Amino acid sequence: MMSTTQLLGGLASLVLVSACGSLGSQSAFPAMNDFGRTKDGTAVQLYTLTNAGGLSATLTNFGATLVSLHAPDRDGAMADVVLGFDDVSGYEGEGNQYFGCIAGRVANRIAKGAFTLDGADHQLAVNNEPNHLHGGDSGFGQKVWDATMILRDGAQGVTFVYVSPAGEENYPGTLTTSVTYLLTDKNELRLEYAATTDAPTLVNLTHHSYFNLAGHGAPTILDHVLEINASHYTPCDDTLIPTGELAPVAGTALDFRTMQGIGKRIATLDATPALGYDHNFALDGRGMRQACFLYHASSGRTLTIRTDEPGLQFYTGNFLFGQPGKGGATYAHRSGLCLEAQHFPDSIHHADFPSVVLEPGQTYAQKTVHVFGTW
């Protein structure tokens, strides 16, 4: 088990070892630029990672957010495949629907924002009526994280750390969280998470990028093809809270066990509470394994996600409304999709679901890898 002090000490050691790694010079570290100031005047930075394959990723310490990811198509033409904004003001604006951020303390929904832990009742913000969503009114995606540029095994990266004090958003316990992004020469964007607490609390972190493999600003993701390694999903009530059942995907519009066009069956879900795809899939297998494969035929771009998490939330941007984004682009309804590796929604109320409770002396840890390619 790892204490908060050990976690922070380990991060410091990682940075020291990375700085002495095989690349060996400050010029090989990620580039850093200003990204504007928050409404309260805090300066925010932008970090650019590159690899030998020509990929580049930009990150900001506001929300530990992925701002852009440039990847080649089958002919080598580059496009930015994630939705986002040109500066921090966009991420503080009404058009930001968790674009690219780390969602927490608890990603996804908690029924009525209420839970009981060790005999104590806790009432969180109800920011997605009638439930709590993605950490509350000012969750991790709205925080300025500490950032350290790193090199590890020839890969550029950034480690973000945020200390959430006890009582923030009414969660118990002081939670110290780190998220490391690494861009490898295998065209992987690796995310490594760790968290410790000084009192029992809840933790369920996820990465919330909206992807469009045709390039951000393209009008739809319904022309993408998707495969999800899940034979079951968690059915929900009318407020998108799981009933507790694990139901088979066979015979439903949620059966992505073989590659399916996203637009092929989505209309059958339009009149449901999800308003399209907004479902948690119970991934098959355990440990690090492939969760999903996404393909865009016109460009040939692919995205493979591997994770050690038990669930994957697939969301088709049903609430995008044409808000302005980077470079003058607009983000139309269903022009971006999310593939969020995480624990199941509302796990605290379902004893059979994987637990999201973190105790002192334990370390929350997960890894999720996004692999970009062409086909």
What pLDDT, on the 0 to 100 scale, is given for residue 90? 97
Burial of residue 13 (number of CB atoms within 10 Å: 0-12, 13-18, 19+): exposed
How many other CB atoms are there within 10 angstroms of residue 17's CB atom?
12
Active-site residue, 208 included? yes
The parts of the chain modelled with pLDDT lower than 50 are 1-27
Active-site residue, 92 included? no
- Which residue out of 70, 132, 207, 208 is catalytically annotated? 208
CB 337, CB 262: distance < 8 Å:
yes
- Which residue out of 92, 296, 340, 370 is catalytically annotated? 340
What pLDDT, on the 0 to 100 scale, is given for residue 19? 33
Instruction: Return the structure tokens found at 130.
Output: 């009638």
Q: How many CA atoms lie within 13 A of 360 on its CB side?
A: 8
Cis upstream peptide for 257 (omega within 30°): no
What pLDDT, on the 0 to 100 scale, is given for residue 29? 83
CATH of 4-374, one of 3.40.30.10, 3.40.50.1000, 3.40.50.300, 2.70.98.10: 2.70.98.10
- Predicted TM-score (pTM) of this structure: 0.92
CA distance 100 to 276: 21
How many other CB atoms are there within 10 angstroms of residue 26's CB atom?
9
